[in-house]
Amino acid sequence: MSRIGKLPIALPQGVTVTVDANNLVTVKGPKGTLTQQVNPGITVSVEDAQVVVTRATDEKEHRSQHGLYRALIHNMVVGVSEGFRSVLEMVGVGYRASNEGQVLKLALGYTHEIWLVLPAEIKVETKAERNKNPMIILESCDKQLLGQVCAKIRSFRRPEPYKGKGIRFEGEVVRRKAGKSASKK
């Protein structure tokens, strides 16, 4: 039995979960609505303000998907009740970020600025304080979409190991390498 899959998911106040005949799980809450299609071998049921995920057989496919779908549904419940937040830090001279609505404008040391249109489900905020690195703050109820957008933004300028410049998550530690040795004897 999957250790993760057998744990029930407690539903917070104001969150409702519905499962239709096609195994489509819909989670509604104060922050939004999310849906997830579930494999027919996995059964999702709502009992006593808890969501229980069970599997039909002990086949390898069903065992591997049991914990997966439980984790996905749990992330949906947390997302619509509390939401997810990710903070990206831009380390480098002249790196800037600003937003106009859902359009994020980045200056990352290239000859041009990068304009990125963000999905409507993501709220973006930029901060640029004196003597501090510029920050990009992203919030959403969809953890998968938030991670995908963060990975896209980070791919424009990955942190490099020699000077540590680039876009990184807040609190992320970048392993530094030593440069060339100054002189050889």
Q: Name 74's Cβ contacts closer than 8 Å, sequence gap at least 6.
A: 9
Are 52 and 8 in contact by the 8 Å Cβ rule? The answer is yes
Q: What is the pLDDT of residues 103-115, one digit of tens each?
A: 999 999 999 999 9
**Class of CATH domain 84-169:** alpha beta
Query: Which pLDDT belongs to residue 183?
Result: 58
The two counts, helices (H) then strands (E), for the chain are 2, 13
**Mean per-residue pLDDT for 67-75?**
94
Query: Which pLDDT belongs to residue 184?
Result: 60
Q: How far apart are CA 104 and CA 98, in angstroms?
A: 6
Give the pLDDT band (50/70/90) at residue 123.
very high
Give the pLDDT band (50/70/90) at residue 185.
low
Supply the CATH classification number for the domain 9-81: 3.90.930.12
Give the pLDDT band (50/70/90) at residue 2.
low
- In percent, the amount of the chain with pLDDT more than 70 equals 97
Q: What is the pLDDT of residues 15-46, one digit of tens each?
A: 999 999 899 999 999 999 999 999 999 999 99
Minimal CA–CA distance to 165: which of 94, 104, 111, 112?
Answer: 94
Contacts 24+ apart (CB under 8 A), 16-25: 17/44, 17/46, 17/51, 17/73, 17/77, 18/46, 19/44, 19/45, 19/46, 25/73, 25/76
Query: Which pLDDT belongs to residue 133?
Result: 92
CATH 3.90.930.12 positions along the chain are: 9-81, 84-169
Q: What is the pLDDT of residues 130-145, one digit of tens each?
A: 999 999 999 999 999 9
Mean pLDDT of the chain: 92
Which residues on adjacent β-strands are paired with residue 54? Answer: 43
Give the pLDDT band (50/70/90) at residue 6.
confident
CB atoms within 10 A of CB 13: 8
Minimal CA–CA distance to 72: which of 32, 80, 181, 116?
Answer: 80
* Angle value at C-alpha 76, between 75 and 77, nearest 5 degrees: 90
Q: What is the pLDDT of residues 39-68, one digit of tens each?
A: 999 999 998 899 999 998 999 999 889 999
Q: List helix spans (H) across the chain.
A: 60-81, 143-155
Angle between helices 143-155 and 60-81 (to 10 degrees): 90
pLDDT greater than 80 at residue 96: yes
Minimal CA–CA distance to 153: which of 142, 166, 165, 172?
Answer: 166
